[in-house]
Structures are given as C-alpha cells and as structure tokens.
Amino acid sequence: MSVTILGIESSCDDTSAAVIRDGLLLSNVIASQSVHEEYGGVVPELASRAHQQNIVPVVDTALRRAGIAATDLSAIAFTRGPGLLGSLLVGTSFAKGMSLGLRKPIVDVNHLHGHVLSHFIRRQPDDIVPEYPFLCLLISGGNSQIILVRNYNDMEILGRTIDDAAGEAFDKCAKVMGLPYPGGPHIDRHAANGNPGRFKFARPHIPGYDYSFSGLKTSFLYTLRDNVALDPDFIAKNIDDLAASLQRTIIDILLDKLDKAVKATGVKTVAIGGGVSANSGIRAAIADYCQRRGLKAFIPERVFTTDNAAMVAIAGYFKYLDQQFCPYDAAPFARVGV
C-alpha cells in the first residue's frame, strides 16, 4: 500500500507544502516573503502573519499539483522546530487541525534533520541517494555543523559554530558593503568576477571540528574601515574582489574542518545542505574536494537548499514507516541541536 505524506514547512519566512508518495516527490510549493527585504532581516511578527495568509492556498496548491485529495494522505508532517516560534505555531496548528479533520496522524520533523535528509528526495525511482554512514556539512544563516549520519534517526554532531554561522557571516559582511538582504546570493554573484586572493582575512584556530566566523567578520570590517577612511569609494571599486576573497576564506574554513572529520571517520560520502549550500563557490569546492579524494559527493538541487516542505515530507515519510507519530499536545520549539 502506498504511503503519501503531506509536508508543511513554516520555520522562518517561507511557507511551503509538499507531497511525497513512497519517497517520490509529487509537488513542492513555496511562498516566499519579500516584505523583510526593506528591514535587512526577517521580522518575526510579519513572518507569522504572512504564514497565516499563505498556508491555506499553499497547501491547496500542493495537493492539486500532486493530483490527490486530502483524504488520500497517509499522514501530515510538519516542522516542529527549530525556528521562529510565531511562524512555527502557524504550521503546527494548521497540521493539527488538518489531522483532526481528516483523522490522519501527524509526524513532527526537526528542521535540521530535514536539511540533512533532503538528499533522499527522489524525482524518479532510480535517483541515487546517499548510503549510510555519511558526513553532512549543514550550512545556513543560523547553523554551521558537521554531522555524522548513521541513519535517518541516528545523527551525531561532530562540530558546530561557536558564534556566527557561515550564512550569518555572509549576510553581515554584505550589509556593511551596502548589498541588499539576504546578502549571501549577492556575495556569490560578485565573487564570480573577483580575485579571491586579493584580500587576506583572519582565519580561526579552533580545536576539534567546531567552527568560528566572528573573527573573520571582524577582520573584514577592519579592512573596510581602514581602506574607506583613505578612499570613500573603496567598496564600489573593489566589491568583486572583496566578495571573492570573503567567499574563498569561508570555503577554506569549512573545508579545513570537514577534511579533518573525513579523515577521522573514514566515510566515503560527503553531503551538504542548508541555505548556504546554494552558494556556487561552495558547491564547486565540495565537488572538487570529493573528486580529489575519491569520495562520493551529494550536492542538493538549489530548490532543496532553502527552507522547503519536500525535506519535511521525506523526513516525515521515514518516521511514518517506523510509526513515530506526534501527540497533539506537542509544542513547537525555537532552538535545539540536530
């Protein structure tokens, strides 16, 4: 008998719904919120209000594109956390209400697990997915982690950021350069035309597998301050080289710890996930790293790097197979590890 899962994602500023049947993606709908751009970051209250407006049409569209009725669902999976509480409450409450109305079970999903398991989303039955165990470099605006994945429900964080995440470093540096929010894609665009060896920024010396990006950010700010003091037009003249040098430094920091983890664990497969895994420089660097070391690389489609319900649905699918259902009194949570 087929297993059909509706996934609902509302952890931040994207409202998304997706349908997966027996591991195959039938639909994935995302409604983004442009209202936050003028504020230079996500405004939680505005985000939760937009989720309330978007969630019904988004879910309806996902079901229609999948060609199924709500009564065909086996279960409803939803992001329980981590994320913005107001946003999570919208998705959690909607999933519970839909579950009660349809008499279908609900499955709660850890948002970070969803990013890791996004590599198991298949568009075709013969699509290749990772074999356990593998290492996943999870990089986003709020998280930078190296995770040893032994199974869908057995993940160990080997290292994580002790301050800023990689995406946070991109966004904060982009902001002082006068680039729009979110800054990561703009850094990526400018870096394509720049010289990555032009500027040298500080690199952390943190033991183990943990990351730190605050020193890099501070070094970047001092470089701008000192040069702009001499030439007010310094950023405009050197924006491509600044972006390329920043991106190269972040890539080197990420790969240094990842390489240590690969050597220590002996894994043969490396995956990346999270919003920053959409960065073209990072994608190319991971592919090159794995090729040189004879490792299998899993780099997600860009649509699966940002917050999306397809990853929630596939995580929910695995939990459904093990009959791991969620009680109705389960509350969303803002922070947690993997």
pLDDT tens digit string along 196-213?
A: 999 999 999 899 999 999
Q: In what order do the strands lie in the sheet with 106-110?
A: 24-32, 14-21, 4-9, 75-81, 106-110
Mean pLDDT of the chain: 94
Model pLDDT for residues 2-18, shown as the tens digit of each residue = 999 999 999 988 899 99
DSSP string covering 118-167:
GGG-BSSTT---PPSSEEEEEESSS-EEEEEEEETTEEEEEEEBSS--HH
In the block, tokens 């999948």 appear at 66
Model pLDDT for residues 259-311, shown as the tens digit of each residue = 999 999 999 999 999 999 999 999 999 999 999 999 999 999 999 999 999 99
Of 90, 72, 102, residue with least CA distance to 31: 90
Q: Are strands 75-81 and 4-9 parallel, antiparallel or unpaired?
A: parallel
Which whole-number Å values give the CA distances from 16 to 3, 13, 24, 211, in the listed order?
20, 10, 17, 30
d(Cα 301, Cα 304) in Å, to the nearest integer?
A: 5
Of 278, 277, 271, 274, residue with least CA distance to 297: 271
Q: Determine the average pLDDT of the residues in 226-235.
A: 94
- pTM passes above 0.85: yes
pLDDT category, 338, cuts 50, 70, 90? low
Q: Tell me, what's the pLDDT at 142?
A: 82
pLDDT category, 335, cuts 50, 70, 90? confident
Model pLDDT for residues 75-96, shown as the tens digit of each residue = 999 999 999 999 999 999 999 9
Residues 69/320, Cβ–Cβ less than 8 Å: no
Computed on alpha carbons and rounded to an integer, the radius of gyration of the chain in Å comes to: 20
Model pLDDT for residues 104-160, shown as the tens digit of each residue = 999 999 999 999 999 999 999 999 999 999 999 999 888 899 999 999 999 999 999
